[in-house]
Structure 1
Amino acid sequence: MKLKDLEAYRAVLVSGSTQAAAEILGISQSAVSRRISQLEEDLGLQLFVRDRVRLVPTRAGRHLDQHAQDVLERAFFLSAAAEEARQGRGPATVLRVAVPASMSRVILPGIIAAFLRQQPDLRFEVLHGPYDAISGMLQTRQADIGLLRLPVSEPGLEFSDVVSAASVCVMPKGHRLCALSEVQPFDLRQEELVLLGWRRAPRRDLDLAFAMAGITPNVRVETHSVSSACGLVAQGIGVSIVNALLVQECLDLPIVIRPFRPALEHRFVLAYAAQPELSEIARQFVIFAGQQLARLVADAPD
């Protein structure tokens, strides 16, 4: 399999034709066709079907897109590093950080921006996914540092200091619960709810709080990220219980936040592989980011 064949595949996928792909790549249309045929032969898959004048990706062809992008991106970085070496310049340090999507729009960009003011030569690669995917990225060395929710059972990881965040109740502006200084399960007995983490530990704690209060929660929507829950609440689809750290990502939405009682603790750490050891600048980032996250939690409703 050759990189130029993957480049032809991506060009056809984006443009929809071999002619347009040829113009993008600066080669002939027949060369694009040959490269696509060679890639299909190497993979043993049909990647495109013709629909009149357009080439439409097959299901397999669409499925391979993200993998092809990853390969081409890493090849680009390899070429850039080689060029820096040829010119006698040391490559910039790249720090790969993996976080949940729920903190990739506001929280992490703010932390990175502040750290780059101290370390302007550092370069970041930001990855995101659910916590189990982040753990996998750390185990396979795709990420140097990742935010995880405790407990974590995977071996071979080391952790920063724990950042603890309480649960808060999120409601649309103007909701009747806005009049309360804090929200308890009994206050939610008539409310439609948007809840997270079905079958996960934090959700079991919340379900237990409802059970202890003799309340059967009326769950309107199950979702799997704090940003999604807050977005649904902002649209008037019930109220939600989320953690006080990741809700900071959503403060620009038309929502109101109140402490939730009983206090339900969410514990987060910045994790990294024990071997090989982190670079000094990566360790500095772990300390800095942990302090920033703790400050966000301290400023949250309690």
Structure 2
Amino acid sequence: MKLKDLEAYRAVLGTGSTQAAADMLGISQSAVSRRISQLEEDLGLQLFVRDRARLVPTRASRHLDRHAQDLLERLFFLNEAADELRQGRGPATVLRIAVPASMSRVILPEIIASFLPLHPEVRFEVMHGPYDAITRMLHARQAEIGLLRLPLAEPGLELSPIVTASSVCVMPVGHPLAELPEVRPYDLRQHDLVLLGWRRAPRRDLDLAFAMAGIKPNVRIETHSVSSACGLVAKGLGVSIVNSLLVRECLDLPIVLRPFRPDIPHRFVLAYSNQPELPEPGRQFATFAAAALERLAASSGEADAPPSN
């Protein structure tokens, strides 16, 4: 299998025709067709079917695409590292970081901005997705470092120091609960709730806290990200209980935070595989980021966001 065949495959996949792919690659249409045929022969799979003037990817083709993309990205980094060595410079360290979307707008940029002046040789590629997708990225070597929630039953991963975030109650600006120094389950008995994580450990702990207080929570909306919950709260659709770390992404919304008691801790780690071994700047970033996240989580417990104008 040749990399130029993979390049032709990706070009056809993106453009839908051999002619457009040829224009993109600067080669002839017949050369593109030969490369696709050779790749299909090497793989023993049909990658495209013709639909009039277009080539439509088969199911097998769609399944293989992410692997082809990963190979081509690695080739790009290999060529770039070789170019830097030819020019007498040390190769840059590229770290692919996978995090939940709920921390990709404010929290991670803040950490990277603090880390880069100390390690100018490092380059970052940021990816995001739910925790199960991040776990798959780590095992598939599509990311070097990923933020995961504990408990974690994943062999083959090394973990940073644990980051512990508390639980906070989120409400719209002007809500009567904002008069309280802290919020307990009894205080929420007559309020609509926007809750996260159905069937996950923190949610089970929250449901248990309501049960022990003899309160049946009025769950108006179920959602699956802190940013979504805070957005719904800001629109006056209910009150939520989230972790004090990821809520920092939402402090520009017209919301107020109060500590929730009893506290339900949320534990996170930065995980990475040592097969292949993580470069030393990667280890330094995992330690640096874990300490930064711990500070951010501790500083959010009683923060109020300014009301909107």
The separation in 2 between residues aligned to 1:87 and 1:175, in whole angstroms, is: 61
- Name the structure 1 match of 2:216: 216
The separation in 1 between residues aligned to 2:44 and 2:231, in whole angstroms, is: 43
1:264 aligned to 2:264?
yes
Map of 1:150-165 to 2, 5 A cutoff? 150-155=150-155, 157-165=157-165
**Identity across the alignment (%):** 77
**CA shift digits 1:52-91 (9 cap, x unpaired):** 5443434443443333222211111122223333444321
What is the one-letter code of the residue matched to 2:160?
A: S
In structure 1, runs of 5+ residues without a counterpart are none
Q: TM-score, normalised by structure 2?
A: 0.82
1:49 Cα deviation after fit: 4.1
- Name the structure 1 match of 2:146: 146
Map of 1:160-179 to 2, 5 A cutoff? 160-179=160-179
- Name the structure 2 match of 1:74: 74
- The answer on whether the counterparts of 2:97 and 2:126 sit within 8 Å (CA) in structure 1 is yes
- Name the structure 1 match of 2:196: 196
Q: Which moved more, 1:281-290 or 1:103-112?
A: 281-290
Q: Which moved more, 1:98-107 or 1:136-145?
A: 136-145
The separation in 2 between residues aligned to 1:33 and 1:245, in whole angstroms, is: 51
Q: TM-score, normalised by structure 1?
A: 0.84
Q: Which moved more, 1:39-48 or 1:95-104?
A: 39-48
SS in 2 for 1:64: helix
**CA shift digits 1:137-175 (9 cap, x unpaired):** 555655443323233344454443332211112234454
The separation in 1 between residues aligned to 2:272 and 2:26, in whole angstroms, is: 43
SS in 1 for 2:266: strand
The separation in 2 between residues aligned to 1:22 and 1:154, in whole angstroms, is: 44
The separation in 2 between residues aligned to 1:16 and 1:262, in whole angstroms, is: 56
SS in 1 for 2:166: strand
Map of 1:32-51 to 2, 5 A cutoff? 32-51=32-51
The separation in 1 between residues aligned to 2:57 and 2:192, in whole angstroms, is: 42
- The answer on whether the counterparts of 2:70 and 2:142 sit within 8 Å (CA) in structure 1 is no
What is the one-letter code of the residue matched to 1:238?
A: G
The separation in 2 between residues aligned to 1:300 and 1:243, in whole angstroms, is: 9
SS in 1 for 2:117: helix
The separation in 1 between residues aligned to 2:99 and 2:51, in whole angstroms, is: 40
1:7 aligned to 2:17?
no
What is the one-letter code of the residue matched to 1:73?
A: E
- Name the structure 1 match of 2:231: 231
RMSD: 2.9
**CA shift digits 1:120-149 (9 cap, x unpaired):** 122223343433444455556554433232
1:206 aligned to 2:206?
yes
Structure 2 CA distance for partners of 1:274 and 1:49, relative to 1, 3 Å? closer
- The answer on whether the counterparts of 2:244 and 2:298 sit within 8 Å (CA) in structure 1 is no
1:275 Cα deviation after fit: 7.2
Number of aligned residues: 302
SS in 2 for 1:183: coil
- Name the structure 2 match of 1:292: 292
- The answer on whether the counterparts of 2:183 and 2:261 sit within 8 Å (CA) in structure 1 is yes
In structure 2, runs of 5+ residues without a counterpart are 303-309
